[in-house]
Structure formats: structure tokens, C-alpha cells
Structure 1
Amino acid sequence: MRVVIAPDCFTGTLTAAQAAAAMADGWREGAPHDEVVQIPLSDGGPGFLDVLGTGLADSGVETLIVTVEDPLGRPVPAAVLIDRAAGGREGAVPTAYIESAQAAGLHLLDAAERDPTRTSTYGVGQLIEVALAEGARRVVVGLGGSGTNDGGAGMLAALGAGLRDDLGMGGGQLHELKDTALSGLGEVRQRLSGVDIVAATDVASPLLGLQGASAVFAAQKGATPEQAQHLEAALGRFHEVATGALDAPTDLLTGRPLRLDRTAGAGAAGGLGYGLLVLGARPASGVDLVLEVVGLKERIADAALVVTGEGCFDWQSLQGKVVAGVAAAALEVATPSIVIAGQVLVGRRETMTVGLSGAYALAETPKEVEASMLDPVTTLSARTTRVARTWSPRRRGTP
């Protein structure tokens, strides 16, 4: 039978391509008679450009390598994908793709450096400037995997919306913002008025509150509970200043100004989604965008099974992540799908709700988790071999 392997990255251990290769090797070991196809995926976080670059290879996409600043202001190489040929297709315009994690990613920081009160998205603004300088009229910014929690303030500083000393020194400093800190925002929005900016989000979180950037994700980036509370207040102040600097659009139903901080995806990448919304961006699902580019639905229509995967299959996976996106696409074409993850932290009911027919963990106890991370390729491959023997029917005469 034909099996499609379509995982996300296993954060901290394997890229999506590495995970797909390990899973494919394991499946062939367990079911050597099957045809195995690899389609690495991303939801906008790390690996976003690699996946898109493969999917857009036939369109003549160009990769520009530039140097920008990392979350602590150090030089780091990053890429911008430019699809100039898009302008030649009906209804399309020259498009740039940016992976925010290449400038603001958690993976760029050592464990001792992870402090979201100090880290900045300034380098993301630099990448957007590169895209604009190359003539892009559509800029797609993939969000996810960040080590920042500054609401996109650093990015806005790099684009000229305010002073770097006010906006580009990390989320913790936003608590003290003056009312005039975003005095250049109107000019920046005017400059970008003819550009379609897309915030390709990996989560549906708002900026503030119990489901917001600071409350849910700051701890993953090194924040203590006290720092997370401080960041929540700082982002609240940043939202006040941004609202004062904006001629906010009005809700057609209520007549009240739209609350950008409550928009789904505003809390993505430590609030970078919010900063993009302030620029006039429109939110979009990162995984849906990737699935469209790689043509996943068409490529799995004649498959017998789709196998996806990620580092941790939990409640976040059910909202805007690769696993949920793959399951939904498979459900539409009536192809069964399963997930193999480092850990599985949701129950059978939640698994079936998103359309998955099964979920398999590499590890269950802390000791097993630690062991699996020492040799992730072998562990993932071996687990996939066992899953293949469960799902793939043996041919007659096969032992």
C-alpha cells in the first residue's frame, strides 16, 4: 500500500525532513512491501522556509541569504524566499516568505540566555525590510518557535515605528513606554499600505489573558512566573500605546474599534502576531498555507494511510498545528491518518475528534523521554517500525 509520511519537526531534536527520513526508514523496515512517500511540513515555525522552498522549487523561487540580528542583537544568517514568478501568474504578485524563527528563534539562544524580558524581534523587522527592498508586494511571515515575548515591538522599531531604545530592548521594558513611543507607526503603515502582509500563525492565542502569549508560552522561553506576570503587564501597556497611535478600524456590527489584541493569532511567537496586525497584516493559518503549497490533499488522495508526527502531541496540537492540519486534510479525502509523537498528552477522545485514527508515543515516562532524546533518529525509526507492522497488512508468504 501507499503510505505518506508528513511530519512537523520534533522541536529540539529533529527537523521535519530528518523526522520524515527516520520515519520512512522505520516504515520500510516494518513493511518493506509498502510504497513510502515523504512530505516534511511546517506550521510557520522552524523549517517553514525549507518546506516552502521544496514546494515552490518548480516556480523558480530565489533564496536570499542575509545577516540580521538574533534575539540578543548578535549577527545571525537568515534567508528570505522571493517568488518573483508569482507576479506572472494570474491574480498573483511577487511574494516574499520569511521565517521569523531565523531571527527570533528560541534555538538561537543557549539555555542560560533564555530570558524573554530581554529578547527582541528586531531582526524580523530587518528581514521584512529585505523583502520590501526586493520588490515584494506580498510578504508572508511564518510565526512559531520564538524566544521572544515583545509583542513585535522590536520588529516595529526596525521598520521605523519608534526608537530602538524604547521598543527593541525586550518585552520587559515595554512596561515603561511613553504614549509617543510609536509616533512613527502611521508613516510605516502608509509605506506598507500597498503590501499584503500575511501573519502565518501556528496558534490561535490572543495577545493577553489566560490564553495569551505571556501566560501560556513565556515559561517555555525561560521566564519565571513573576517575569511572565511582568510581561503580561508590559504587553498590556504596549497595546495601550499602539491603540493610541492607530486609527483603529471599526467593527461593522458593533460600531466599536476592533480589538487587535483579541484577534486569534495575535499571541503567536510571543505577540509578534500582534505586531504584524498593528502593521495591517491579515492572519492566516501557517499550516494551511504550507499544505496548499505542497499540495498535500492531492498527494494523499490515493494513499492508504497518512502518518504525521511532532515532538509533543498535546492540546496545542489540536489548534493550528501540523498534526491537526494533516488530519483535517486526510479526513476530507477519506484517507486514514495517525500520529507518532515524542509524547502523547491527550486522550483517545481528543485524538479521534481531530480525525486521527491513532496516536503513538516514543516515550511515556521522564526516563524514557530522556533516553529518546539521546538518539532521536533510532528511537523514532524503531517506533515507526512497530507501528508499520500494526497498520500494514503482510503479503501472503511474508514471515
Structure 2
Amino acid sequence: MRVLIAPDAFGSTLGPVQTATALGEGWAEGAPHDDLRLLPLSAGGPGFLDVLERAVGGTTVATTVSDPLGRDVPAAVLLVDEPDRRTAYLEASQASGLHLLSADERDPALTSTWGVGQLLETALQEGAGRIVVGVGGGATNDAGAGLLAALGAGPASALARGGLALRDAGADALAGLPDVVERFAAVEIVLATDDLIPLLGLSGTSAVDAPGKGATPQTAQDLEGALGHFTDLLTRALPHPPLDLLTGAPRRLDREPGAGAAGGLGYALLALGARQAGAVSEVLRVTGFDVAAAGSDLVVTATGRLDWTAVRGSVVSGVAEATMATGRPAVVVAGELLVGRRETMSMGLAGCYAVADHPREVEAMVADPVATLRARAARVARTWSPAR
């Protein structure tokens, strides 16, 4: 049997490539007669660049950027030369990822996206005519203010001290924004995310995502106010605000789908002229997933946690939908399975298998994710591909 193994990252412990390798080793143990192909995928978070480099090659430019607290960390820009332009792929989490902070350092009131701006600057200096920014797994909630400061839109003292400090930003804090927008005017920027939440409001980034990054309810409320003040400043500083095609009135960028992605990082990119595109669909396209799935008898994907948030806009849902179009079955191996059969059937999955069903198994999975994932993959392989 021809099996395509196309997983996302396995939580925060294994990246997509490591997950695919562990699944492949387990499957080979359970069904050694099968023909396996590994095709790791990503939703724009950690591992985004590894997945794309594996698929399309290109040139990796190593650099050093600031992490969410201003410390130097290694990062990279992937450059792919196309017939008519150079595309740069960026992984925002290399500079702003939650995984860069210890548990007691996580505070979205203080963290900054300055390092993501440094990645954009590197891509621009390398001659990119198209910049694709994968966002996800971020530790920030500053509406991309740090990113804009790193590009020269305003002083770091006002914009790069975290989201909460934005409430004190003065009227001239974004005086350099017109020049920054002009520098990127000829560059196509793609905000690669499937997180379509707005910046502000009850369904905005401060209310929905900040608590998972360490914010208390009061901090989340304070961040909402600070980001509201920042949007007022940016709206006044933006030289040519985009217009609604129907009404001709200026569009509210803070209400655009994806503006709240990665703590509002999407908002700053939209201000630079970015267009939003699904990260999963972009990765599926670049990796040639449709062709690979059509040439397989079974597709196996994986994720660390399959809950209601993964029903749409995730690698699992993207794989299930694309595989269904080929008429092939798709199954998922999840660290934890927190949705019922009705939800998984609606996604188009033919089978769902949890690595951990009980607290004791969760502890074992966290202690040794590779071994537990391999063992589960071997059992699933014996179910779907019995020995000859």
C-alpha cells in the first residue's frame, strides 16, 4: 500500500519534519511492506521554513534577530528565485514564538514583535519582490507595533516595549510610517495565516489569544484598550488607507480577517499592504500535496491536539478536505483527541487515533513524544495495512 505521511507539528515538542520521521518509523515497523512518502506540512507556525525548504529548496540566509524580550536568537529567511521575481519566506515564530520564552517569562503585556521586523528588513535587503510571512505560535500582543518600529516607523521607546506600553504612545509615535509603507510599495506581502480573528473586540486577539500567552483577565482588558489607542494612531498616520470597493470609505484594518493573528501581527502587515492568504492552502500548494495524495492509497496526518479549533483552518482539516477531493481516505494521529466522531466525520476523516487517552498516557507522551508517537503509528499501520 502507498501511504502518504503528511503531519503538522506534534504540539510544541516535535516540529513537522520530526513528526513525519517518527510516524514513518512507526508505520514501517507496523507495516514494513508499505511504500511510504513523507510530506511534512505547517500552518505557518514553528517548522514553516523547514517544511518549505524541504519542498522547494531555495537559499537560506542566516541572521540574528531579537526574541520577544529583546535577546538575540538565530533566525533565517528562505529565498526562492522564480522566473519573474524572488520570493522570501519568513517564519515569524523564529523571532516572536512562545517557545522562545520560559513559563515564567510569558507576559504578552511586555513582549514585542521587533524581531519580526528585522526579518522583513532582511528579506527586503535580499531583493525579495514577494514576502510570505507565516504567523503562528506567537508570544506577543502588540499589534505588530514592534515590527513597525524595527522598520523605522517610530521610536522603540514608544512601540517596542510590549502591547501595554502602547497606551502611552504619543501622537507622533508613527511619524515614520509613510516612509516605511513607501519602501514596501513595490513588494507583494502575503500574511499567511488561517487565524481570521479581528484585532479588537470580544472575538479579538486580546480577548481570545492573550490568556493563552500568560495574560490575566485584567491584563487582557488593559491590552484591549492599549491596542485600541494604537489603531487610532496608525489610522491617522497611514498615508493611503485602503478603500472599501463598494462604499469608497476607508476600510477598518483592525476588522479585517487575520488582523488579530499572532497577537495583532497581522494588523501591522495589513498596514504595509499585505493580503491575507491561508497558510495551510499555501503550504499544500507549494508542496504539491494534491498530486502526492492522488498517487497514494492512504493519507496519514498528525497533530498534537485535535480540538474544536482544528475543525477549520488547520493542517488536519486542510489535509482531510484536499484528500477527500482525490477519493482517498485520510486518518489522523493526535496527541490528544478532544472532539467526537461527528466532528471528525464532518471534516472528512476516515479514522482518528489518540496517542494519549488518559492522564498517565499524557505524561508518558510528554516525557518521550517520539517513542509514544512511533508506537501509536505502528498500531494504526497494522489496522490499515494488515500483514500479507
Normalised by the length of structure 2, the TM-score is 0.96
Q: Which moved more, 1:206-215 or 1:156-165?
A: 206-215
Q: Spell out the pairing of 1:1-399 with structure 2 (5 A cutoff).
A: 1-57=1-57, 61-83=58-80, 85-86=81-82, 89=83, 92-246=84-238, 247-395=240-388
CA contact (8 A) 1:203 1:321 kept: no
CA displacement 1:101-143 (0-9 Å, x = unmatched): 1111111111111111111000110111111111111111110
SS of residue in 1 equivalent to 2:44: coil
Could you tell me how far 1:281 is from its partner in structure 2?
0.6
CA contact (8 A) 1:143 1:202 kept: no
SS of residue in 1 equivalent to 2:209: helix
Q: Which moved more, 1:269-278 or 1:231-240?
A: 231-240
Could you tell me how far 1:183 is from its partner in structure 2?
1.6
Could you tell me how far 1:348 is from its partner in structure 2?
1.6
Moved over 3 A (4+): none
Could you tell me how far 1:310 is from its partner in structure 2?
0.9
Could you tell me how far 1:365 is from its partner in structure 2?
3.2
Distance 2:2 2:179 in 1: 54
Distance 1:156 1:43 in 2: 24
- Unaligned regions of 5+ residues in structure 2, if any? none
CA contact (8 A) 1:204 1:319 kept: no
CA displacement 1:65-87 (0-9 Å, x = unmatched): 1111111111111101112x21x
Distance 1:18 1:241 in 2: 43
Q: Which moved more, 1:2-11 or 1:362-371?
A: 362-371
Q: Which moved more, 1:275-284 or 1:384-393?
A: 384-393
Distance 1:175 1:349 in 2: 45
Task: Note closer, same or farther for the CA distance 1:366–1:76 as it changes in structure 2 (3 Å cut).
Answer: same
Could you tell me how far 1:178 is from its partner in structure 2?
2.3
Distance 1:367 1:179 in 2: 54
SS of residue in 2 equivalent to 1:22: helix
CA displacement 1:13-48 (0-9 Å, x = unmatched): 111111111111111222222111111111111001
CA displacement 1:237-284 (0-9 Å, x = unmatched): 222211122232221223332121122111111110111001111111
CA contact (8 A) 1:261 1:274 kept: yes
- Unaligned regions of 5+ residues in structure 1, if any? none
Q: Which moved more, 1:341-350 or 1:158-167?
A: 341-350
User: Size of the alignment, in residue pairs?
Assistant: 387
- Which amino acid counterpart does residue 319 of structure 2 have in structure 1? V
Distance 2:216 2:93 in 1: 22
CA displacement 1:302-340 (0-9 Å, x = unmatched): 211111111111122123221111111101211111111
- Which amino acid counterpart does residue 133 of structure 2 have in structure 1? V
Distance 1:230 1:335 in 2: 49
Q: Which moved more, 1:103-112 or 1:251-260?
A: 251-260
SS of residue in 2 equivalent to 1:139: strand
CA contact (8 A) 2:194 2:277 kept: no
Distance 2:24 2:6 in 1: 10
Could you tell me how far 1:149 is from its partner in structure 2?
0.9
SS of residue in 2 equivalent to 1:258: coil
- Which amino acid counterpart does residue 22 of structure 1 have in structure 2? A
SS of residue in 2 equivalent to 1:130: helix
CA contact (8 A) 1:153 1:168 kept: yes
Could you tell me how far 1:376 is from its partner in structure 2?
0.6
CA contact (8 A) 2:332 2:349 kept: yes
CA displacement 1:126-164 (0-9 Å, x = unmatched): 111111111111111110111111111000000111111
Distance 1:262 1:326 in 2: 28
Distance 1:367 1:227 in 2: 34
- Which amino acid counterpart does residue 251 of structure 2 have in structure 1? L
CA contact (8 A) 2:196 2:258 kept: yes
- Which amino acid counterpart does residue 12 of structure 2 have in structure 1? G
- Which amino acid counterpart does residue 13 of structure 1 have in structure 2? T
RMSD across aligned C-alpha pairs, in angstroms? Answer: 1.3
Q: Sequence identity, in percent?
A: 58
Task: Note closer, same or farther for the CA distance 1:186–1:64 as it changes in structure 2 (3 Å cut).
Answer: same
Could you tell me how far 1:209 is from its partner in structure 2?
2.2
CA contact (8 A) 2:114 2:148 kept: yes
CA displacement 1:161-181 (0-9 Å, x = unmatched): 111111111111112222322
Distance 1:207 1:388 in 2: 43
Distance 2:179 2:48 in 1: 30
SS of residue in 2 equivalent to 1:161: coil
Distance 1:271 1:366 in 2: 34
